[in-house]
Amino acid sequence: MPRQSKPLTSNLTQRFALLFLVLALLEIFFLSSFVPLDAACASWIEEHRSCALDYGDTLLSNWPIVTLVTLSVFALVWLCRRRQWTEARQGALSIFIGLFLSELLKVGFERARPSVLPPLVTGNSFPSGHATGALLIAGTLGFLLARQHWAAWVKIVGAFVLSSFVGIITWQRLYLGHHWLSDVSGSFLLAGAWLCLTLSRPTVLGVSWRTARVYVGLLVCYQGFYFFPQTRFVLPSVMSTLGEPLLSLSFGRLDPHVLLYGTWGEDDHEPAGPITWMRRGEASVEVGLPPHQAYILKLAVRPFVQSKTFACFPLEITVNQQPVQRLLLYRGWREYTLRLDPAGLVPGMNLLTFRVGTDFPAATLGQRAVAFRHLLLFAERQE
């Protein structure tokens, strides 16, 4: 005889679902207020990046989310073998429908990621699909684990393992610059609301003419947002609040009057857009800057890496032969931020020099070392 399932209703969890939903809506409504926090978090992560942390992330890769998915498949098979059909159906539908709703919101909300790649390549930023999926799977598995007649220490260890996976995936989303802090927090609130609702009221996941019409309507909305981008809701982000730069150089299509010196290579085009390659050695560009003003320089570059392997190469930057910063370039396109002190600037034209050392791989196509996409210069805001 199959074991009877326990009642799955709880007024407390429904209240939590309402609370999480209200908090998520408040965050979306006041998202512009979270932009400074997003910028501060992204800046702190960039300042504390290291080759060791990047190497650790390379070792982790996608295995945390893959492990969670594998655990969910094993749990579904185990529940079916024990003929716990209610739990198996409820858990599977809670995860799959929750993932669809997350994707619907991601398509319906247009928000720029912390990325130098265009949104057409990277997709929208809110909510985080990985963070939402991790919490949906871990939350569902934790709920099913709590309902089993196992020792308390087994449940505690299981909850710790599931929480660790969610924490690692969240850290990866922020550390790799795929999402803003508010993307992740909003994902947790939305996923928490969905889990509390569906795990306490399994009738929400029931199949009826009414729910079928709701799902069809949501699918139509998804198609509408996907094929008609003008119908999307635009959300503020750090990328949309930077304002107009004082100087903007787009490599790969530079103005003929821009003076380049040194080991600049050929122009090219990637999904990121037009680029210019720098070869090993020194390459410089002249820019006109008013003196007595501190500037924020944003530089979009990537090192030449022939395969998806670990990369951590130094790029030395000087202004008028005065050292400014030694950047560590990591695999993939990233935007690096540094401050130009007014003491190192001169009236008129200033020479910005990039130097590639011997740490870069020697045997590369055409001695390519670094790809440059853009250089943006902003006046530093005075508090």
What is d(CA 64, CA 197) in angstroms, rounded to the nearest whole number? 26
Where do we find the tokens 């600049």? 264
* Res 194: pLDDT: 92
Handedness of CA 271, 41, 356, 303 (dihedral sign): negative
Question: Phi and psi for 365 in degrees, rounded to 5?
Answer: -60, 115
What is d(CA 2, CA 4) in angstroms, rounded to the nearest whole number? 6
- Reply yes or no on whether the pLDDT at 91 is more than 80: yes
What is d(CA 372, CA 277) in angstroms, rounded to the nearest whole number? 6
What is d(CA 372, CA 264) in angstroms, rounded to the nearest whole number? 10
* Res 296: pLDDT: 82
What is d(CA 10, CA 197) in angstroms, rounded to the nearest whole number? 9
Kindly report, residue by residue over 106-119, the tens digit of the pLDDT: 988 888 888 766 66
Specify which residues 49 forms β-bridges with: none
What count of other Cβ atoms lies within 10 Å of the Cβ of residue 25?
14
Q: Which amino acid is at 300?
A: A
* Res 8: pLDDT: 43
CATH ID of 247-379, from 2.40.160.40, 2.60.120.260, 3.40.50.300, 3.40.30.10 = 2.60.120.260
pTM of the predicted protein model: 0.82
Q: Measured over all CA atoms, what is the biggest interatomic distance in the chain, rounded to whole angstroms?
A: 87
What is d(CA 36, CA 45) in angstroms, rounded to the nearest whole number? 14
CA angle at 230 for the pair 229 and 233, rounded to the nearest 5°: 90
* Res 46: pLDDT: 81
The answer to whether 125 and 113 have CB atoms below 8 angstroms apart is: yes
The answer to whether 102 and 190 have CB atoms below 8 angstroms apart is: yes
- How distant, in Å, are the alpha carbons of 33, 119, 320 from that of 122? 24, 5, 36
* Res 5: pLDDT: 44
- How distant, in Å, are the alpha carbons of 29, 121, 276, 301 from that of 370? 40, 21, 9, 7
Specify which residues 348 forms β-bridges with: 289
Specify which residues 350 forms β-bridges with: 287
Class of residue 14 by CB neighbours under 10 A (exposed 0-12, middle 13-18, buried 19+): middle
Where do we find the tokens 């009642």? 7
The answer to whether 325 and 358 have CB atoms below 8 angstroms apart is: no
* Res 165: pLDDT: 94
DSSP label of 307: S
Where do we find the tokens 């560590």? 328
* Res 20: pLDDT: 93
What value does the mean pLDDT take over residues 270-288?
A: 85
Q: Which pLDDT band, with edges at 50, 70 and 90, does 6 fall under?
A: very low
The answer to whether 240 and 112 have CB atoms below 8 angstroms apart is: yes
Long-range contacts of 11-14 (CB under 8 A, 24+ apart): 13/196, 13/197, 13/199, 13/200, 14/196, 14/197, 14/200, 14/201
- Reply yes or no on whether the pLDDT at 210 is more than 80: no
Specify which residues 301 forms β-bridges with: 334, 372
- Reply yes or no on whether the pLDDT at 383 is more than 70: no
The answer to whether 113 and 334 have CB atoms below 8 angstroms apart is: no
